[in-house]
Chains A and B, each alone.
Chain A
């Protein structure tokens, strides 16, 4: 299936990451957005509010982030592709409903344009300090998917991807932007609608009286029912059986959680989305994501010019973490260098998988990006 031409602004544009995210959502089929505007994500919903009337979409400015994040679940079960958009303080309030979307297998997209925290922090300045909150912020055990764009072009591309993955795996997908990519303007090329692949909703073909809303297919993902066609089923955030009714037993919990986790974990290889650069034969590999990956690449170019064999591994999908790649590289390289706009978050994942290889964290409290010279120094010292 391809994108609905009505939502696709084909052509070359000079727009910021927030606007590109909005266009990605439109191209990805999003027709419902609920949000409580917050810097530095406001421009996403500003543009949504302007563009949605042209495509028959519905945007609601809600009373807060709790309401926004549950409204999208309602819209999805009503048949729409939906997202909400926020930044740190709002993301904290949305955690409960990320868990609800995981438990009810509601395909939806959460955009977090990260700013410095904790609390109100640095509203207008960048950070990447919500990376572990993205993974673990809601209570209970679960798996989800998070992508991390490093340019306005990728804000467009990865927002489309987020909608597709949400539908394919029936899981909330987080688009983890940051203030820098959100407010940075660059050339963004929007392809023709027929060049944009859309993963359609998994509508059930079961007869009305045989439909089981949480009975999975071979890929462990169940199909959804179209509202208004006569399907009757129950849905709850409680641990439930295939009919959707509460099943609060030890075996019911083990069965449901096992499947919710396995449907992502068993597809970790398929979900891996990284950009490798001169990783083969490298003595050290810089692991980075989002805006920091661009600054890191500048550092990598500088140390290569000095003759060091340094590779770069950029994560476009950060969750699930591509641990198989790190485990494999760990047998070949001396060190991993992990710069990030936080005081050491994704570096913990690298450490977990690095076995004997040295892992060097290059932390930054946020507010701007790293000075590439600091990353150069960390690489050089790691290889000394």
Chain B
């Protein structure tokens, strides 16, 4: 594996940073990997741009920032426009179905669409959109063991919301696996 550079982008209030923390925690605490997370956000608490830069590696990470993105997850149109140019050719791209319209067209990438908003509404709380996305990303990236991510979800969500969040994580993971199977199925 060496090193995988991941960026998760969206707007403040969506839980973008928490998604990055969960994936990082899953990798570094439960997945036997190294992880370095850098967060950036605008001065406003909500509505401004927000992004997490995460490096996951099987060796110590020296340079801390993400430059050439191997895996990109975008939950807003602004993030799609800003971050896709840095996505490596053939990299993994996850876009949110209702929040990102694919203009300009998707670059050369392994592209998956996560219906996180709709799934979150089905579960009953729109706020779990980010946890669904973490599950979905876990399934389509196959970067970190599922159990490691699930443990990280358990440790990262507020008490009293555990069942809701685990449900969201598992739903996202299942939908991700289904999409992955479709792509991997022989034509």
Min CB–CB distance A371 → chain B (angstroms): 9
Min CB–CB distance B7 → chain A (angstroms): 15
- The number of chain A residues touching the other chain, given as a range, is 10 to 19
Let me know if A183 is at the binding interface, CB within 8 A.
yes
The distance in angstroms between the C-alpha atoms of A268 and B62, with both chains bound, is 29
The reply to whether B38 and A372 contact each other, CB–CB distance below 8 Å, is: no
The reply to whether A294 and B64 contact each other, CB–CB distance below 8 Å, is: yes
Q: Say yes or no: A183-B21 contact (C-beta < 8 A), given A13-B29, A297-B62.
A: no
Which A186-234 residues have C-beta < 8 A from chain B?
A: 186-187
The distance in angstroms between the C-alpha atoms of A184 and B24, with both chains bound, is 11
The reply to whether B29 and A186 contact each other, CB–CB distance below 8 Å, is: no
Min CB–CB distance A281 → chain B (angstroms): 23
- CB-CB under 8 A from B65, the residues of chain A are 368-369
How many cross-chain pairs have Cβ atoms below 8 Å apart between A and B?
51
- CB-CB under 8 A from B152, the residues of chain A are 14
- B30 to chain A: closest residue by CB: A12
Q: Mark contacts of B26-46 with chain A using CB atoms, 8 A cut-off: 1 yes-contact digit, 0 otherwise.
A: 001100001111110000000
The distance in angstroms between the C-alpha atoms of A298 and B65, with both chains bound, is 13
Let me know if B171 is at the binding interface, CB within 8 A.
no
Which A231-261 residues have C-beta < 8 A from chain B?
A: none
B64's partner among A12, A187, A301, A369 (CB-CB below 8 A) is A369
The reply to whether A291 and B62 contact each other, CB–CB distance below 8 Å, is: no
Let me know if A282 is at the binding interface, CB within 8 A.
no
The reply to whether A294 and B28 contact each other, CB–CB distance below 8 Å, is: no
Min CB–CB distance A11 → chain B (angstroms): 9
- A124 to chain B: closest residue by CB: B40
Min CB–CB distance A294 → chain B (angstroms): 4
Which B70-104 residues have C-beta < 8 A from chain A?
A: none
The reply to whether B21 and A14 contact each other, CB–CB distance below 8 Å, is: yes
The reply to whether A14 and B24 contact each other, CB–CB distance below 8 Å, is: yes
Chain A contacts to B: CB under 8 angstroms:
12-14, 180, 183-187, 291, 294-295, 297-298, 301, 368-369, 372
